[in-house]
Amino acid sequence: MMQEFLEENKNDVNKSPQKKTISTSGKILIGLTGGLGIAFSVICGPFVAPAFRKYCLPYVPATTTQLENILSVLKHSKTGRLLDIGSGDGRIVVAAAKNGFHSDGVELNPWLVQYSRIAALTQGVSGKTKFYRKDLWKFDVSPYKHIVIFGVEQMMAELESKLQMEMKNDSQIIVCRFPLPNLTASQIIGGGVDTVWVYNIKKTL
């Protein structure tokens, strides 16, 4: 069923002008992750309002090493809620919930949101997870102490200012793929595509 869905969309996209909207970084990501990444990255276009297409988060599954790196950061502080921005197939949210967090995901692609909810259910963490099908730019991130992002280069600066504005004192941003442009990372884990940058948000009175 999922396979059919992928094939169908791949064909759609090949015929449609949407194909041109794949950015350079999209192409790099596709190169890195292969087939499944391609199918999900290209279907990003049709689900996103035109104004946000530039900021659409392509779906590229987290690698096992990325997931381990993220969990190694999280094990130091198990309090507070976690949000995965562009939660894709939900694997980070589910893994965090299994590690004791109340964790939420926000994702624009309705198929992935459904997939995530089912994954959370079958893995016994549906009570500790929520998946929102929402535009991340309109999503209030202030209740979260830990925010995980698998970003795309073009959106990092804007995302950084949103997070800095909304997040509370003593919260944490964990970023994969591209670092935030202005904040200084307090910790850098791993290397290459698996690099994880950690930023601590400190607010002064």
Residues that bind ligand NAG in the complex, under the rule CB under 6 A: 160-161, 169-170, 181-182, 202-205
- Joined together, the tokens standing for residue 166 give 């909304």
- Joined together, the tokens standing for residue 87 give 């939660």
Of the two residues 80 and 190, which places its CB atom closer to ligand NAG in the complex? 80
Residue 157 CB, shortest distance to ligand NAG, in Å, is 6
193 vs 55: CA distance, rounded Å: 20
Residue 169 CB, shortest distance to ligand NAG, in Å, is 4
Strands 171-176 and 196-201: antiparallel
Residue 199 CB, shortest distance to ligand NAG, in Å, is 12
Residue 143 CB, shortest distance to ligand NAG, in Å, is 16
| Residue 150 and residue 180 in contact, taking contact as beta carbons nearer than 8 Å | no
Of the two residues 60 and 174, which places its CB atom closer to ligand NAG in the complex? 174
| Residue 176 and residue 149 in contact, taking contact as beta carbons nearer than 8 Å | yes
Of the two residues 19 and 203, which places its CB atom closer to ligand NAG in the complex? 203
